Structure 1
Amino acid sequence: MLCFVISRSKGDVRVDDVEGDVEERRNQVPSYVIMRSTYLGTEGEGYEYVLKLAETCLVSTRTSYLPDEYRDFNPPPTPLTILLLTMPFAQSRTYRHTVLASPPLTFPSTIYPIYSTPTMAELSTCLPLTRDSVIEAHNIIKPHVHLTPVMTNKTLTQLASTPRDPASLVGTPWEGRTPANPTLRLWFKCENLQRIGAFKVRGAFHAIERLKREPGWIENGGKSKGVVTHSSGNHAQALALAARESAIPAHIVMPSVSLPNKIAATRGYGANVIFSGSTSSEREAVAAQVIADTGARLVPPYDHPDIILGQGTMGLELQDQVRELKTDGKGLDAIITPCGGGGMLSGVALSCEGTGIRVFGAEPSFDGADDGRRGFETGKRIESVKSLTIADGLRTPVGEYPWSVIYERNLVSGMYAVTEDEIRSATRLVLERFKLVVEPSAAVPLAVALFNEDFRAMVEKEGGPDGWDLGVVFSGGNVSVDGLAKLFAA
């Protein structure tokens, strides 16, 4: 038997399946253990859906989950045919429906919209995803964020510009290859020195400020109902701070495996913290319950235009700061950023559109966390990730809106991945040689520049003897002393 959980996020309908004994799992985990997700389709922002499963299903379900006005569908639910309604976040607590079925199962593509319920600032009020919009977002958030420094480090630049020892390539995909010999000049954007210790505050403040500008939101009691999000830590802290400074309640859904220092910091900004499972589907389900209970407005961690534009403001600053610091009057050749949900990467890509600056994404390879790289290679977004990489801020799949910028608009030139050991090594180098505290997620772009031979060979080929001036984003520094000790003990 398989247990299917029907859920929806921004109009997407998904079927999450759990292998094994259903009753046993019910006893172990109240919200079930979700192993993988199958994307079924979309019809628009905020819709409810009726999902008709194929008649090959052998189904047992509780139709009492459906509200009275939806119980008389024709044909009605039967052991061979079932109609399931995924409830709107703001209308009902019934946001997931359980189906017990025997495989094989097939799903039709038809999904029927019922009506719309917004979950964040209305898309009609959002700025278009352009460089000009990033500039406007920067003007909005300037009073609320730090202009973080851009720094250089001769030791790290020298390491990046030195061929690796061939022995270090043994056991890697590049074993037997002549090590690349790129010329790189590294410029570090230190968002680890940003408010709340991470770049996420940019998107959070932009989202809150845009939400406050939405017609009718304040007048209809939006401020008192509050905002809600799901995050493993940095977006959680960012939204908690941005909401507090506008006197708005913040409800933060955090995976139970979140780092204690990030949980404590989120609570320290005055947020109400609610725990969930670690997968995106589990986080979204708990967030849906909070919205149903409070009427709060969802501020997603990355998959929304307002978030993307806010994160992109760091790209504008990095470009300007490097031009001012360089003596030759030239700017950057490229920027590399971490990529989890893709809000930062897509925002920085927008900030570089039309400038000639190339943009790259960096991910962990551990346990499938390199979904962006794999999707980039196949041309199809990967919609589910379940990884416990040490780069805990990069455990989420790339969102739809970021993907549209990263891949569909071809604004990102490539995606590269590194191992856990390479991330540890890069983090250690930053601590010991740069004397800066960064979390493992923030060290992933540096690890790519130092250790990914495909990236390094590409820079050698395209940069030639002159090489590249490469902007490297240190995305955050929210790691505890105990966390660092555990990281390096491993």
Structure 2
Amino acid sequence: MTDRSEAILPTFDDVIVAHERIKPYIHRTPVLTSRFMNELTGAKLFFKCENFQKAGAFKVRGASNAVFGLSEAEAAKGVATHSSGNHALSLSYAAGQRGIPCHVVMPNTAPEAKKAAVRGYGGLITECEPSTSSREAVFAEVQSRTGANFVHPYNDPRVIAGQATCSRELLEQVEGLEAIIAPIGGGGMISGCCLTLSRLAPKMEIYAAEPEQADDAYRSFKAGRIIADDAPVTVADGLKVPLKENTWHFVSRYVTDILTASEEEIIEAMKLTWQRMKIVMEPSCAVPLATILKNPATFRGKRVGVIITGGNVDLDKLPWMNG
């Protein structure tokens, strides 16, 4: 079974094809604004709400592009992936829409809400230890046993092209953006932003936001090479994975800067968004706002697109509970 993540890098033509392919299976998500947030930050913020997306996260874009781009012969064996949550449930959703099996390796520490969502969409879960090495070893066994098509959570060209449709929509919805900011873990969303903006808005600043306690992308960016952590610990559970070759290609060439925030700053930004904007978002999605609040001079006076990447939260374990 070939690993599609080893294929050539996606182009903007792939983004256009992906957008048409996935339109029946995704939402064109809304853009929200907040006078309070604008006054607080000194910027004009436009929140692209992928927490309202199918399966509750932007990752359904890339997953749907991969699933519906398979030939009938490939699809018959199903798809497989490893994921801490949102890619797992997004791929399970897309596979369910096509009527094919989806095998998922998830860390045993993944939020129960995400595990339940994967099972709800028909995904078949195999658990692993919460480290990159364990995840990859267990996945190798699952793929060998099933022969399923590997859809990498972010290093797959089909996935990157799908994620790029989010920033393409944002440009259509908001005129005159000067900067865009999104969380970075493995880099699929940011790579998609780079792919779209390098073609449609090449002068736009592209910022990535990362937890201080899982800052391998920040350190990679400063060092000029990929630096990977095996098992970082952060409340932003969707941002624990390292960059890979395909995402590093885009990050290293097009990203303006990578900004970091502490655990306390992330939780406060998440709480603030819930309170003021009345929307459910994950800790990972609060990192961009946390870094904007931390670096006001960088964004002051600018029209900034902020991608809220998902809303799959364990409501019984909110990070501001119990101290």
Q: Structure 1 length as normaliser, TM-score?
A: 0.64
Mapping of residues 282-293 of structure 1, within 5 Å: 282-293=134-145
Q: Deviations over 1:137-159 (max 9, x none)?
A: 21211111000000100101111
1:230 to 68, 78, 82: 82
Q: Which residue of 1 aligns with 2:168?
A: 316
SS of match in other structure, 2:317: helix
State the shift of 1:400 in Å. Answer: 1.2
Return the alpha-carbon distance in structure 2 between the equivalents of residues 252 and 199 of structure 1. Answer: 18
Q: Which residue of 1 aligns with 2:124?
A: 272
Mapping of residues 82-481 of structure 1, within 5 Å: 117-120=1-4, 123=7, 128-161=9-42, 184-212=43-71, 218-219=72-73, 222-323=74-175, 331-354=176-199, 355=201, 356-366=203-213, 369-407=214-252, 410-451=253-294, 453=295, 456-460=296-300, 467-481=301-315
State the shift of 1:225 in Å. Answer: 2.0
Return the alpha-carbon distance in structure 1 between the equivalents of residues 320 and 128 of structure 2. Answer: 24
Name the CA shift for 1:435/1:144 in 2 (closer, same or farther; >3 Å): same
Return the alpha-carbon distance in structure 1 between the equivalents of residues 254 and 70 of structure 2. Answer: 27
State the shift of 1:131 in Å. Answer: 2.8
Name the CA shift for 1:209/1:415 in 2 (closer, same or farther; >3 Å): same
State the shift of 1:268 in Å. Answer: 0.4
State the shift of 1:120 in Å. Answer: 3.5
SS of match in other structure, 2:209: strand
State the shift of 1:122 in Å. Answer: 7.5
Counterpart code for 1:231: S
SS of match in other structure, 2:180: strand
Indicate if the aligned counterparts of 1:364 and 1:391 stay in contact, CA closer than 8 A: yes
Return the alpha-carbon distance in structure 1 between the equivalents of residues 184 and 51 of structure 2. Answer: 16
State the shift of 1:487 in Å. Answer: 3.5
What 5-or-longer segments of structure 1 have no aligned partner?
1-116, 162-183, 213-217, 324-330, 461-466
**Greater RCO between the two (CA within 8 Å, min separation 6)?**
2
SS of match in other structure, 1:360: strand
Q: Deviations over 1:14-64 (max 9, x none)?
A: xxxxxxxxxxxxxxxxxxxxxxxxxxxxxxxxxxxxxxxxxxxxxxxxxxx
What 5-or-longer segments of structure 2 have no aligned partner?
none
Q: Runs of 4 or more off by more than 4 Å in structure 1?
A: none
State the shift of 1:199 in Å. Answer: 0.4
Indicate if the aligned counterparts of 2:292 and 2:299 stay in contact, CA closer than 8 A: no
Return the alpha-carbon distance in structure 1 between the equivalents of residues 39 and 12 of structure 2. Answer: 33
Indicate if the aligned counterparts of 1:120 and 1:211 stay in contact, CA closer than 8 A: no
Return the alpha-carbon distance in structure 2 between the equivalents of residues 393 and 487 of structure 1. Answer: 18
Return the alpha-carbon distance in structure 2 between the equivalents of residues 207 and 152 of structure 1. Answer: 32
Report the identity percentage: 44
Return the alpha-carbon distance in structure 1 between the equivalents of residues 321 and 130 of structure 2. Answer: 24
Q: Which residue of 2 aligns with 1:169?
A: none
Indicate if the aligned counterparts of 1:131 and 1:351 stay in contact, CA closer than 8 A: yes
Higher mean alpha-carbon deviation, 128-137 vs 351-360, is at 128-137
Counterpart code for 1:351: T
Indicate if the aligned counterparts of 2:208 and 2:288 stay in contact, CA closer than 8 A: yes
Indicate if the aligned counterparts of 1:313 and 1:347 stay in contact, CA closer than 8 A: yes
Return the alpha-carbon distance in structure 1 between the equivalents of residues 76 and 161 of structure 2. Answer: 26
Q: Deviations over 1:109-148 (max 9, x none)?
A: xxxxxxxx5123882xx6x533332222212111110000
Counterpart code for 1:447: A
Return the alpha-carbon distance in structure 2 between the equivalents of residues 147 and 372 of structure 1. Answer: 29
Counterpart code for 1:137: A
State the shift of 1:280 in Å. Answer: 1.5
Name the CA shift for 1:247/1:401 in 2 (closer, same or farther; >3 Å): same
SS of match in other structure, 2:100: coil
Indicate if the aligned counterparts of 1:121 and 1:211 stay in contact, CA closer than 8 A: no
Report the structure, 1 or 2, having the larger helix content: 2
Q: Deviations over 1:281-302 (max 9, x none)?
A: 2111111101111111211101
Aligned residues, how many?
321
Q: Rg larger in 1 or in 2?
A: 1
Q: Which residue of 2 aligns with 1:98?
A: none
Counterpart code for 2:198: E
Return the alpha-carbon distance in structure 1 between the equivalents of residues 226 and 254 of structure 2. Answer: 15
Return the alpha-carbon distance in structure 2 between the equivalents of residues 445 and 321 of structure 1. Answer: 20
